Structure 1
């Protein structure tokens, strides 16, 4: 019991010290820009606390809608974390070329062979471009290399418009899979 009373008195003394320190700090910063800054962040913290309370209340009143929102946000987060990059496209191309290289050209699927040759030519001419859309990635072929300094390449009015990227699209990456290359390499060892 004596130890309990000592710890209570220690806690009360600590609280008194914190309050007095807080009062001294408030008096020091009164009328300065720091006071406005502290007030701003207190309001931001209060706003977030209110949002948290209202979110908790919404979850209790509408659990199905909250579950759907949470599931959708989780799926978007998963898609964003599994979004492939240019390095994985290059690795997929090399793996596909190695797989196709083990098959005689008379037995290789011409569609897979032509697709990989087109990717190789585009890489060699530095025409491959990568667009990251957050949850998926697009690999497309540009008209000119980045090193090319022709007027047609530098003029913004003559660039490839976004609606034409669909025609120049080489692959779509989603959930760590490059879908077009994977589809074309599905039966790479069957010539039909």
Structure 2
């Protein structure tokens, strides 16, 4: 095969890679090229190459061409930037591990706090779970007679269901917990009062609009309202204040259990009691 004419150099595979047109993929150093000038003498772009160094340069080019795409990308600007980024992160991890060995107690507390925060963030309840909990609470109240339902629990559940039917429930995920509150109007309302930012509810009205707080997979306000939902508090309004509230120890005390069991025992009269009954 005839040698190429002078000025028609044989391009290197590395220099003419398809990605070399991009700025971030431009090689840092141009690879070697081995053109052959007239008369069989070795030439390069910059000048003449001694004939004895041609085999060494050819071997170096063969090694560079066999490195592959990843090795070529390591020499680009993007590759250098990624290498520096990995080195920075590795140095930060080494310093963190060294600090954890020096202060194990503080490191354990920090790790526990981060783990707890991650667990809370992963268990934040969704808006669908709140609607399901509200419907389930309404079904639980329907199983009770109107005379034994808790008025507070019934009012809270009915308020939530009415806001749900009107489309006035709003759900916000706050990363570690979730809140559900009521809006003045539905989401599709196009009234001026619902669109004007000067007529929006104030921050001081937020506690009154709050309906529930979701944390650790539960809705706590709804759960609190449904506690003792089968006890009607209005029945005990006529009692003195000291009798309206019972402590847990009074409900399951040993004395009450003993009195409850004694009512099933037969009545035994002694001789004195029998004589008193006869004389009476």
- TM-score category, normalised to shorter length: 0.7 to 0.9
Range 65-74 or range 148-157, more displaced: 148-157
The normalised TM-score by structure 1 is 0.82
Structure 1: distance between partners of 2:110 and 2:206: 32
Give the SS at the match of 1:138: strand
- Residue 76 in 1 paired to residue 122 in 2? no
Structure 2: distance between partners of 1:41 and 1:80: 31
- Residue 125 in 1 paired to residue 172 in 2? no
- Note if contact 2:74-2:80 (Cα within 8 Å) is conserved in structure 1: no
Which one of the candidate residues 135, 141, 144 is aligned to 2:182?
141
The normalised TM-score by structure 2 is 0.57
Once the two structures are superposed, residues 1-51 of structure 1 have per-residue CA deviations (whole angstroms, 9 ceiling, x without a partner) of xxxxxxxxxxxxxxxx7995169944x886xxxx22111111110111001
Range 56-65 or range 147-156, more displaced: 147-156
What pairs up with 1:4-153 in 2 under 5 angstroms?
21=67, 25-26=71-72, 35-153=76-194
Larger radius of gyration between Structure 1 and Structure 2: 2
Query: What is the count of residue pairs matched by the alignment?
Result: 171
C-alpha RMSD of matched pairs (Å): 2.2
- Give the 3 Å change call, closer, same or farther, for CA 20–165 of structure 1 in structure 2: same
Once the two structures are superposed, residues 48-79 of structure 1 have per-residue CA deviations (whole angstroms, 9 ceiling, x without a partner) of 10011001101111111110110000000111
Give the SS at the match of 1:139: strand
Q: Which has the higher contact order (CA 8 A, sep 6+)?
A: 1
* Structure 1 runs of 4+ with >4 Å offset: 17-20, 22-25
What are the ranges of 5 or more consecutive residues in structure 1 without an aligned counterpart? 1-16
What are the ranges of 5 or more consecutive residues in structure 2 without an aligned counterpart? 1-62, 234-280
Which residue of the partner structure matches residue 168 of structure 1? Answer: 209
Once the two structures are superposed, residues 74-111 of structure 1 have per-residue CA deviations (whole angstroms, 9 ceiling, x without a partner) of 00011111111111101111111111010011110000
- Give the 3 Å change call, closer, same or farther, for CA 24–75 of structure 1 in structure 2: closer
Once the two structures are superposed, residues 113-153 of structure 1 have per-residue CA deviations (whole angstroms, 9 ceiling, x without a partner) of 11111111101111000010011110000001011001121
